[in-house]
Copies of this chain bind each other. A is one copy, B any other.
Amino acid sequence: MSDSTDLRIAVLGVGMMGADHVARITDRISGARVTVVNDYLTEKAEQVAATVPGARVVADPLDAIAADDVDAVVLATPGPTHEKQLLACLDAGKPVMCEKPLTTDAATSLEIVKREAQLGRKLIQVGFMRRFDAEYEQLKAALVAGELGQPLVMHCAHRNPGVPSYFDSAMIVKDSIVHEVDVTRFLFAEEITSVQIIRPTANTLSGSDLQDPQIAIFTTETGRHVDVEAFVTTGLAYEVRTEVVGELGSAMIGLDVGLVRKTRPGVWGGTITPDFRVRFGAAYDAEIQRWVHAVRSGAETGSYVDGPGAWDGYAAAAVCEAGVRSLETGERVAVDMVDRASVPGA
């Protein structure tokens, strides 16, 4: 994909999530660039646009959607504005990646579904990012491969260290538990037919009158049981744990140890990467990405290197030569290496 075909994206809403998406598109992924930035706070939009060469601010979100230099839209605006903006994307025939929620209620969401269905092509993606998480992908793969047999039960825990002061008890359902709603639908590939929210003794240390924790219980079309502990004021860490129990075994993610399977009698097991390209794949990406950034800024900084240099290559060679000699004798061999100070500039 050459730069001449880079996807030109308008990012609407550049609060924490939107600004992250701008940085992501600009600095970390391939094939796209942000051309238009919009926010109801103009100053914020200008601040973010200034970090992106070639990006401009457009004040009205609908103008941003309609702009000629916009091929696709990332929607990170507040939920209440989504309906209008999504309809504009559909009218313009432009693909849109919409942060959750789709809209603020089921009735308007259904209207959006219907409008897109009439178009005959899918333009809307919703930002349930867990479907792209490596551990959830492994869990889905284990299910699809039948490793767990027919799934029967799922246990979830979803804990946050804290929430903003405007968070209320209903938002724990709509903003937190909603992720487990999508995880249930993604993993079990069927709809949820009933919901129960149990209200345990509330955390008195939250400094609020939130009903927190909450226990959600879902029943699915075929009768599977899902329970979710949502606890958003733990004061500790962000923990997301999901365990599926099936007829042939169980598997859990989020235990800080990758996917853990229990599918053979008497044994629990994790996974080891079979290949260095898998184990160090992200390291290779980071190595090259950071080197590219270093080289591009090198004219200014004078440094074209972001990592080990020629000296490190030399030192490794000197040590390995000693190692190969020791391999013959089994005895200790001194490393023969010049003093770095003897090579000015090295």
Interface 1/0 per residue, A266-309 and B, CB below 8 Å: 11111111111111101111111111110110100011111111
Min CB distance A216 to B, Å, is: 6
| Residues B174 and A295 in contact, CB atoms below 8 Å apart | no
A142 contacts across to B, CB distance below 8 A? none
Contact of A192 among B152, B274, B290, B319 (CB under 8 A): B319
Given A152-B201, A307-B131, A310-B126, are A196 and B110 neighbors across the interface (CB < 8 Å)? no
- Chain B residues lying within 8 Å of A249, measured Cβ to Cβ, are 234, 236
A177 to B224, CA, bound (A): 20
Asked if A245 and B27 make an inter-chain contact with CB atoms under 8 angstroms apart, the answer reads no
Are A320 and B177 in contact (CB-based, < 8 A)?
yes
**B194 and A335: CB pair below 8 A?**
yes
Out of B98, B123, B273, B313, name the residue touching A126 (CB < 8 Å). Answer: B313
Contact across chains for B128 and A173 when beta carbons are under 8 A apart: no
Interface residue tally on A, bucketed by range: 35 or more
**Do A28 and B29 form a contact, CB below 8 Å, given A276-B238, A335-B194?**
yes
- Are B133 and A282 closer than 8 Å at their CB atoms? yes
Alpha-carbon gap, A98 to B336, bound state (A) = 23
Find A305's partner among B110, B125, B268 (CB 8 Å cutoff).
Answer: B125
- When the two chains form their complex, are residues A332 and B195 in contact, meaning their CB atoms are under 8 A apart? yes
Q: Closest residue to A306 on the B side, CB-wise?
A: B125
- Residues of chain B within 8 A (CB-CB) of A306 are 125
Interface string of A172-207 (1 = CB under 8 A from B): 011001100110011000011111111111111100
Given contacts A126-B309, A295-B7, A322-B195, contact A314 B106 (CB under 8 A): yes
Q: With an 8 A cutoff between CB atoms, is A37 at the interface?
A: no
Nearest opposing residue in chain B for A201, CB measure: B223
Q: A271–B219 Cα gap in the complex (Å)? A: 33
* Structural contact, B238 and A153, CB atoms closer than 8 A: no
B152, B239, B276, B304: the one contacting A272 at CB < 8 Å is B239
A260 to chain B, nearest CB (A): 9
CB distance from A345 to the nearest CB of B (A): 3
With a 10 A CB-CB cut-off, give which of A277, A316, A338, A346 has the most chain B CB atoms: A316
Is A170 interfacial (CB 8 A cutoff)? yes
Considering only residues 47-98 of chain A, those with a C-beta below 8 Å from chain B are 52-54, 71-72, 74, 95, 97-98
- The closest CB in chain B to the CB of A31 belongs to B292
5 pairs, CB–CB < 8 Å, chain A vs chain B = A124-B309, A152-B213, A153-B200, A215-B225, A269-B270
